[in-house]
C-alpha cells in the first residue's frame, strides 16, 4: 500500500477496527518473536514439558497467535471505507461554462443530440411567441390556472381545443397581460424586499421593456446599457414604464418576449426553458462539456417545461419539443 492508501486505511470509516487489527497483529508478532528468543537463549525458562512435544506445540501456538490477527487485518482491508483526501490535495474546481458564437443550425444540431426535435416553425405575424407555446398547453394547465389565478377568466380546455391558431395565440397574450398586471401590483415598493423569483422577473421585464421603448437603437448599445444597469435602475425603470410597455405589448401583432413567457409559466404553473441566441444579453452561446445550455430557464412549477427556440439572436420564436 502507498502512503495515501495507508493514510485512508488508518483514517477511514472503520478506523477503530482497522487500528485494532494492526495493533493486534504487531503485538502478536512481537510476542511470538520475543518468546522464541527467550526460550532459545534461556532454555531453563522452558516450562516442564516433554521436550519432544514442546517445540512443535510452541510453533503451533505461535502460528495461531499470528494467523488470527493477520486474517482480521485482511478482512478490514476489504471493508468499504470512506476516502480521506490528502491534506495537500486541491478541492475540485467548479465547472465554468464556455462561451462561443454559434449559428442556429449548429445549436439545433447540438440540441438534437440532447433529445430535442427540430424546432417547429411558426408564423411571423407578431404572435410567434404565443404560436410556440400553444401546442404545449395541456388540460392540467387549465386546472393550475384556476387554482393560482381564479380571477382571470379563461376558457375551458374543451373550448381551447376548438380555437384556431390565431385565437389561441391572442388568448395566451391576453392572459399573459393579466398575470403581469397582477404580479406587478403585488411587487413590494422596496427593492430589498424582492424575492429571487421577483428579481428574475424584473430583470427580464427590464430587458424587454427597454427593447420595446428604445426602438431604433442598435442591439449592441442596448446590450451595454443592460450590462451596466444596477438593480435599482432596473427596478425604477420597470415601475416608471410598466403601463406603457403593457399598452404596446397588448397589441395583437406586437413583439412579446421572456416576460410574457414567464407570465404564462406562472399562470399554468409550468417550468420554462429557452434555447437559441439572445443578442440583447450576449453575442455568444453557453456550453458545458460541449452541450448547449439554455440562455434562460425558470425551473419553478411542473414539467415538461414550456420550451421554445429563439432564432437569429432575437425577434422570432419556434416551438421546441422533446423526441
Is the dihedral angle over the CA atoms 38, 39, 45, 48 positive or is it negative? positive
Residue 39: its H or E element: helix 15-41
CB 204 within 8 A of CB 296: yes
Residue appearing with cell numbers 528468543: 37
- pLDDT digits (tens), the chain, 323 positions: 444 444 444 445 445 555 565 666 677 677 767 766 666 666 655 566 555 655 666 666 666 666 766 666 566 555 544 443 444 445 555 566 788 899 999 999 999 999 999 999 999 999 999 999 999 999 999 999 999 999 999 999 999 999 999 999 999 999 999 999 999 999 888 888 999 999 999 999 999 999 888 877 888 888 899 999 999 999 999 999 999 999 999 998 888 999 999 999 999 999 999 999 888 888 889 999 899 999 999 999 998 999 999 998 888 999 999 98
| Angle formed at CA 139 by CA 137 and CA 142, multiple of 5 degrees | 85
pTM reported for the whole predicted model: 0.69
Determine the pLDDT at residue 5. 47
Determine the pLDDT at residue 26. 75
C-alpha to C-alpha distance for 150 and 157, rounded to whole angstroms: 15
CB 114 within 8 A of CB 242: no
Partners of 287 in the β-ladder:
98, 292
In 3-state terms, what secondary structure has residue 116?
Answer: strand
Residue 126 φ/ψ region, left for φ over 0, alpha for ψ in the -120 to 50 degree band, beta for the rest: left
DSSP calls for 234-256: HHHHHHHHHHHHHHHHTSTTS--
Determine the pLDDT at residue 19. 58
**What are the distances in angstroms from CA 197 to CA 127, 203, 265, 300, 310?**
26, 10, 12, 9, 22
Residue appearing with cell numbers 500500500: 1
Is the dihedral angle over the CA atoms 289, 292, 295, 298 positive or is it negative? negative
- What φ, ψ does residue 276 adopt, rounded to 5°? 110, -145
C-alpha to C-alpha distance for 78 and 76, rounded to whole angstroms: 5
Amino acid at each position: 500500500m502507498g502512503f495515501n492508501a495507508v493514510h485512508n486505511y488508518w483514517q477511514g470509516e472503520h478506523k477503530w477496527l482497522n487500528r485494532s487489527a494492526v495493533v493486534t497483529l504487531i503485538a502478536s508478532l512481537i510476542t511470538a518473536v520475543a518468546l522464541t528468543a527467550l526460550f532459545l537463549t534461556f532454555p531453563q525458562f522452558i516450562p516442564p514439558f516433554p521436550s519432544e512435544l514442546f517445540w512443535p506445540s510452541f510453533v503451533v501456538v505461535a502460528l495461531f497467535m499470528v494467523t488470527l490477527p493477520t486474517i482480521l487485518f485482511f478482512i478490514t482491508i476489504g471493508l468499504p471505507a470512506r476516502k480521506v483526501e490528502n491534506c495537500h490535495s486541491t478541492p475540485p474546481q467548479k465547472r465554468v461554462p464556455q462561451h462561443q458564437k454559434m449559428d442556429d443550425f449548429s445549436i439545433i444540431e447540438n440540441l438534437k443530440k440532447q433529445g430535442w426535435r427540430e424546432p417547429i416553425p411558426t408564423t411571423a405575424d407578431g404572435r410567434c411567441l404565443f404560436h410556440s407555446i400553444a401546442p404545449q398547453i395541456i388540460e392540467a394547465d387549465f386546472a393550475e390556472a384556476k387554482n393560482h389565478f381564479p380571477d382571470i377568466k379563461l376558457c375551458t380546455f374543451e373550448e381551447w381545443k376548438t380555437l384556431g391558431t390565431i385565437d389561441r395565440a391572442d388568448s395566451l397574450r391576453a392572459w399573459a397581460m393579466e398575470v403581469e398586471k397582477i404580479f406587478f401590483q403585488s411587487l413590494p415598493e422596496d427593492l430589498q424586499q424582492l424575492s429571487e423569483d421577483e428579481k428574475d422577473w424584473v430583470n427580464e421585464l427590464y430587458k424587454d421593456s427597454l427593447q420595446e421603448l428604445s426602438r431604433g437603437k442598435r442591439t449592441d448599445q442596448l446590450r451595454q446599457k443592460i450590462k451596466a444597469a444596477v438593480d435599482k435602475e432596473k427596478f425604477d425603470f420597470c415601475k416608471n414604464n410598466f403601463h406603457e410597455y403593457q399598452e404596446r405589448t397588448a397589441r395583437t401583432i406586437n413583439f412579446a418576449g421572456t416576460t410574457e413567457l414567464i407570465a404564462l409559466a406562472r399562470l399554468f404553473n409550468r417550468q420554462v426553458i429557452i434555447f437559441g441566441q439572445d443578442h440583447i444579453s450576449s453575442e455568444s452561446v453557453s456550453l458545458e462539456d460541449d452541450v448547449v445550455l439554455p440562455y434562460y430557464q425558470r425551473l419553478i412549477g411542473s414539467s415538461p417545461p414550456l420550451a421554445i427556440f429563439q432564432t437569429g439572436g432575437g425577434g422570432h420564436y419556434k416551438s421546441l419539443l422533446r423526441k
